[in-house]
Amino acid sequence: MTAEGFFADFLKIIPLLSVLATVTGWVVSSKFSSKNTGTHAKNTELNKLIDSLNKALDDIYTEMATVLSSDLDDRKKTAAYHKFIGMIKNVRFICDAIQKLDEAQRVDNGKLFLLRKACTSDQKYDSKKINTALPQLQDIQEEIKRSYIKKFTT
């Protein structure tokens, strides 16, 4: 085979190599794009859950302030107790959902126990206890909020 024939054969292969390189580039680009899209979607959902956790904790605080600002009879105390139980179960559900998305972010069950104890002790449903009950509740909530950090993609 002469040099001229070899060069002619090489020129015939160049378009094939170009197509092969283009298709390989598309596949690699697609893999990176789908990974980035998945990570972004996961972080967006995680951030939404953290926002709803913060709102749920703020709602508990607001409800406790409302309960403490009025005198309650036994029937209203029982209703408040069950409302707080439901709100705390919602907080636990959100915490579990966050943990499913990101194993590194979890709350200590002791903090949730303290939150439940702070909200469901009927001794704290007395308006005279407002100066101790609300700050205690706020401290527990802030500890829970600090357990979760929003994630942002770049």
% of the chain surpassing 90 pLDDT: 34
What are the domain boundaries of the chain?
40-146
Cβ(87)–Cβ(76) below 8 Å: no
Mean pLDDT calculated for residue range 124-152: 82
Q: What is the DSSP string of 81-134?
A: HHHHHHHHHHHHHHHHHHHHH-TT----HHHHHHHHHHHH-GGGGSGGGHHHHH
Q: Is the model's pTM score more than 0.85?
A: no
The C-alpha angle 50, 55, 85, rounded to 5 degrees, equals: 105
Q: Is it the case that residue 21 has pLDDT exceeding 70? A: yes
pLDDT digit string, tens, across residues 9-18: 777 777 877 8
Q: How confident is the model at residue 119 (pLDDT cuts 50, 70, 90)?
A: confident
